[in-house]
Amino acid sequence: MTLLRLENVGKSYGGVAALRGLSFAVDPGEIVGLMGANGAGKTTAFSLIAGTQRPSDGEIWFDGRRIDGQPAYAAARMGIARTFQIVRPFGGLRVIDNLVVAALYGHARERSRGVAEDRAREILGEVGLARDAARLAQTLTLAGRKRLEIARAIATGPRLLLLDEVLAGLTASEVVEALDLIRAIHRRRNLTLVVIEHVMRALTQLCNRIVVLHHGEKITEGSPAEILVDQRVIDSYIGATKR
Amino acid sequence: MTRRGQSVVALALAGVALFALLPLVVGPYALGIGLGLLMWIALAESWAMFSGLSGYISLGHAVFYGVGAYATVLLWQVVPLWLAIPLSGVAAGLLAVCLGWPCLRVRGAYFVILTLGVSEVVKYIVIRTEAALGRQGRLLIGTPSLTILFEAMLVLAVVSMIVLYMVRSSKLGAGLLAIREDEVAAEAVGVNATALKLLAFTLSALIPGMVGGLMILRSTYFEPLQAFSPTTSFTIVTIAILGGTDEVPGPLLGAVLLVLMSELLWARAPEVYMIILGVLLVAFVLFLPEGLLGRAQRLRGPAKS
Amino acid sequence: MDLSVILSGQLLASVLVLASLYALVAIGLNLVYGTMRLLNVAHGELVMLGGYVAYWGFAQWGISPLISALFAMAVAAAAGALIYIAVIRRLFRSRFQARVEANSLLVFFGISIIVQNVTALAFTANNRGYSYLDDVIAIGDARIAANRLAALAVASVACFACALFFRFARSGMAMRAIIQHREAAALVGIDVDRINLQVFALGFALAALAGALISMTQTISPFMGFPFTVSGFVIIILGGLGNLPGSIFGATILAAVEVYGVTLISPSFRSILVYGVFIAALVLRPQGLLGRPIKAR
């Protein structure tokens, strides 16, 4: 049974259609990539799923329930967590408190602060921020903030995790570390992932399936191998590869 | 509880006990000052519980004080006093719900202006209502003694500090702080910002409502322009900024400083007093935004949040 | 209430006078907000100061308020520049970036308290007024005092001059650019800091001008400022934040609501009416009647 399903989802701002007739489904445990040039509508799709915006058309189903138009906090409580393209840490709070809030209010709904803190420490260890637990979040480097963004999303105890360009701005070695981390999280926590990325290597290495968007519409979807040789994808995004 | 925690609690209890015994020792003038101090503590701690934690600055908190005063006046001799005061708090809370529900859905800066405007609207509505009822101010006769009012205010001040402490370390407090940092991100991790703000806003109105009721018993004369005076709102904010809005001792410190200053200046030159308050507010916001307490904490070094 | 009264030229004249003055107040407020996202809670105090400068010039030396207005504008512009340099810039550079908005509100709030009480100290809290151009002029079926006509004339000319300034002057266009997109404006070489300074100077000057004109038509007091601040906010919300022509539109609407509302109900409801529109506008339609849809969240 699919975990997430978009049916004919559209979003317009004034006269401009950011998304049109988008349909795809994600099964539990999959890692699905969302790919396309800037302005193709990827982050808009995330915003619609996560509840930050409401769709103009179409339906979004999560775990058998219709969720389009729900506010963001409701989506989080249902088990949908997201990271932001431009990270939004709670800068004035300590790193660990960033996660504690998520653990208390998210899908996990931890009962007490004490339990929430324990879980937070555990997650910080997983993402490699254990030493920074007591620091103010705003003192972290960009790579650290990206880890925090992921950690905070995980702290809500989600079933579906939406990762929005988490690799952007990282050095090559940081990308490798991040990919390992994402894979480990996916495995260890039995999560379902939808990933927006521009780094092709990440998409091909990480995802079972990739959905390709262009100017707000889905032009194709398939396995990484299929996508790489699809003419439409090459025309709109990759460009001719020499491989 | 830690050793340090134990000594803090012991100190606090001693302080409260000393204060409770004050009426036996000092005369009415000093007791009046003590009452004023406790009043500002109760008001500022309650204010900090909402505005300090959420970052939504309420510049019109006097409206709850005024509504509480009005409620007590209306319930005077209709209901026994031990019931009237809590009911005044409830009245203020109801007003908070009515105001908060539309007002808390707007962004931080707009909310601030809104609180200023709302306080004024309610003031004018009360003035109109009183005029329509044919009342030019109301006089209360046979109000409780200063000692009783003092002890009651002591209770309110202590309760306000306990409430702030408890909220701050609770799930509600964590949510409010997250809202203060980044409301959109808070919503993304499951915080229903509007609901939390409304809850905190309402809680922050209860004690000011009761404080207003007690103070009107003290002054025995209800006059809307006085009860809803923007000066009250302004003083509350300044106290909190001065002392620090984040933790319990902050508004306490600010209130002490303010009462000291006002004793020296208010009677003699009210405008000068206000000017100095204004200068202090501006100076602190610019140079010491965390307040004296926050600054002291930073100097002591990073400890627990 | 007689319909002919409502439709009379008399009320229309009142609306026009009020609208022109409100427009001046709102443009200044909107300019500061549009370029720097700062809500100047002390804006009304500038109006009040302008009024007092005009009052003093006339009461002490018999100088026409129309002349004092120029002086008031100069002083206000200087004050604006000073506040920007000494206070606002510091705020922008502070460590607590997330709270710039909240802190700026507190700072302006503090400034308004200071200004109100300094004025009260200097002039006492009593109402002040003077008579200037008191003769009544008849236009059609409207009877209007010459000073109100003069206020309308000067305010309208000033609004028109502003419109020209924003359209054709380099600084004016730079201001509009910053309002539209601050980062982009900086990228094309606009010295945002210098323009910010000019914005403060201009915004304050317009408020002071309005105040000087208003002092001809009504009594002034040290605490008269806040209702003008509120009116200013109502207008910029009605017309759209950062939308300068919208301010004129919003000013007309508010003036009409006030004048006709007061006529229909009673003068003592004026405050409730203005604040009521304020609250309704903020809550129901924060993007204004003309503005681009922004969520106030």
Alpha helices in chain C (DSSP H): 3-6, 9-36, 43-61, 65-83, 89-92, 100-123, 146-168, 170-180, 182-187, 192-217, 225-239, 244-264, 270-284
- To the nearest whole angstrom, how far is the Cα of C108 from the nearest Cα of chain A? 24
- Residues lower than pLDDT 70 in chain B: 1, 266-268, 301-305
Give residue A132's identity as a one-letter amino acid code: D
Q: How far is CA B240 from CA B47, B247, B274, B302, in A?
A: 8, 10, 16, 22
The answer to whether the beta carbons of residues C31 and C101 sit under 8 Å apart is: no
- Where on the phi/psi map is residue B55: left (φ > 0), alpha (ψ -120 to 50), or beta? left
Domain extent at residue C116: 26-224
Mind listing the pLDDT tens digit for each residue in B74-84?
A: 998 888 888 99
B144 CB within 8 Å of a chain C CB? no
Structural domains in chain C (count)? 1
In a domain, C235, yes or no: no
Question: Pairing mode, if any, of strands A192-196 and A31-35?
Answer: parallel
In a domain, C91, yes or no: yes
Q: What pLDDT, on the 0 to 100 scale, is given for residue A243?
A: 45
B281 CB within 8 Å of a chain C CB? yes
Q: What pLDDT, on the 0 to 100 scale, is given for residue C18?
A: 93
Kind plus residue range of the DSSP H or E element containing A46: helix A42-50
Task: Tell which residue, B268, B271, A130, B262, has the closest CA to residue C122.
Answer: B271
In a domain, C36, yes or no: yes
Shortest CA distance from A14: residue in chain C: C293
B272 CB within 8 Å of a chain C CB? yes
Max CA separation in chain A (angstroms): 56
Q: What pLDDT, on the 0 to 100 scale, is given for residue B61?
A: 94
Tokens of C126: 């009593």
Nearby residues of B21 by Cβ (< 8 Å), 6 or more positions away: none
- To the nearest whole angstrom, how far is the Cα of C167 from the nearest Cα of chain B? 29
In a domain, C124, yes or no: yes
Mind listing the pLDDT tens digit for each residue in B129-145?
A: 898 888 888 888 888 88
- For residue A105, the tally of other CB atoms under 10 A from its CB is 27
- To the nearest whole angstrom, how far is the Cα of A171 from the nearest Cα of chain C? 26
Q: How far apart are CA B121 and CA C272, in angstroms?
A: 6
Give ipTM to 2 decimals. Answer: 0.90
Q: How far apart are CA A74 and CA A52, in angstroms?
A: 10
Backbone angles phi, psi at A207, to 5 degrees: -95, 145
Q: How far is CA A184 from CA A3, A123, A128, A161, in A?
A: 21, 12, 12, 14
- To the nearest whole angstrom, how far is the Cα of A167 from the nearest Cα of chain C? 25
B98 CB within 8 Å of a chain C CB? no
User: Domains of chain A, with CATH numbers?
Assistant: 1-79+159-243 (3.40.50.300), 90-158 (no CATH)
SS (H, E, C) B216-272: HHHHCEECHHHHCCHHHHHHHHHHHHHHCCCCCHHHHHHHHHHHHHHHHHCCCCHHH
Q: How far is CA B101 from CA B66, B202, B278, C262, C283, in A?
A: 20, 10, 31, 29, 10
C-chain CB neighbours of B181 within 8 Å are 98
C-chain CB neighbours of B182 within 8 Å are 98
Question: A-side interface with C, Cβ within 8 Å?
Answer: 91-92
State the count of interchain CB pairs (< 8 A) between B and C: 132
In a domain, C111, yes or no: yes
The answer to whether the Cβ–Cβ distance between B187 and A82 falls below 8 Å is no
Give the angle A30-A31-A37 at the CA atoms, nearest 5°: 140
Task: Tell which residue, B187, B170, B160, has the closest CA to residue B248.
Answer: B160
Q: What pLDDT, on the 0 to 100 scale, is given for residue C296?
A: 33
Length of chain A in terms of residues written: 243
The answer to whether the Cβ–Cβ distance between B185 and A82 falls below 8 Å is no
Shortest CA distance from B180: residue in chain A: A90
Shortest CA distance from A162: residue in chain B: B188
**pLDDT tens series, chain C, 297 aa:** 566 666 677 788 889 999 999 999 999 999 998 888 888 889 999 999 999 999 998 888 888 888 889 999 999 999 999 999 988 888 887 766 667 777 888 889 899 999 999 999 888 888 888 888 777 877 776 778 888 888 999 999 999 999 899 889 988 999 988 888 888 888 888 888 899 999 999 999 999 999 999 998 888 999 888 889 888 988 888 888 778 888 899 999 999 988 888 888 777 677 778 777 877 777 776 555 544 444 333
B192 CB within 8 Å of a chain A CB? yes
In a domain, C126, yes or no: yes
Backbone angles phi, psi at A213, to 5 degrees: -110, 150
Picking from C39, C43, C112, C114 by the largest number of B CB atoms within 10 A of its own CB, the best residue to mutate is C114
Q: How far apart are CA A22 and CA A217, in angstroms?
A: 6
Nearest by CB to residue B171, choosing from A73, A74, A104, is A104
pTM, full prediction: 0.86
The answer to whether the Cβ–Cβ distance between B279 and C110 falls below 8 Å is yes
In a domain, C212, yes or no: yes
pLDDT at A11 over 80: yes
The answer to whether the Cβ–Cβ distance between C102 and B55 falls below 8 Å is yes
In a domain, C273, yes or no: no
Q: What does pLDDT average to over chain A?
A: 90
Q: What pLDDT, on the 0 to 100 scale, is given for residue C285?
A: 66
B122 CB within 8 Å of a chain C CB? no
C-chain CB neighbours of A91 within 8 Å are 98
Shortest CA distance from A91: residue in chain C: C98
Shortest CA distance from B195: residue in chain A: A73
- To the nearest whole angstrom, how far is the Cα of C224 from the nearest Cα of chain B? 13
Q: How far apart are CA C297 and CA A53, in angstroms?
A: 12
* DSSP conformational letter for B144: P
- To the nearest whole angstrom, how far is the Cα of B147 from the nearest Cα of chain C? 34
B-chain CB neighbours of C39 within 8 Å are 109, 112-113
The answer to whether the Cβ–Cβ distance between A93 and B178 falls below 8 Å is yes
Q: What pLDDT, on the 0 to 100 scale, is given for residue B210?
A: 97
A152 CB within 8 Å of a chain B CB? yes
- Give exposure, B83-115, as e/b (b: 16+ Cβ within 10 Å): ebbebbbbbbbebbeebbeebbbbbbbbbbbbb
B-chain CB neighbours of A73 within 8 Å are 187-188, 190-193
Cβ burial of B4 (10 Å; 0-12, 13-18, 19+) is: exposed
Give residue C21's identity as a one-letter amino acid code: L
Shortest CA distance from A88: residue in chain C: C98
A-chain CB neighbours of C96 within 8 Å are 92
Shortest CA distance from C96: residue in chain A: A92
Q: How far apart are CA A94 and CA C137, in angstroms?
A: 69
Picking from A77, A95, A104 by the largest number of B CB atoms within 10 A of its own CB, the best residue to mutate is A104
Q: What pLDDT, on the 0 to 100 scale, is given for residue A139?
A: 92
Shortest CA distance from B125: residue in chain C: C272
Q: How far is CA C249 from CA C9, C31, C199, C283, in A?
A: 20, 15, 21, 20
C-chain CB neighbours of A92 within 8 Å are 96, 98
Nearby residues of A20 by Cβ (< 8 Å), 6 or more positions away: A10, A216, A217
- For residue C168, the tally of other CB atoms under 10 A from its CB is 9
Give domain limits for chain B: 25-230
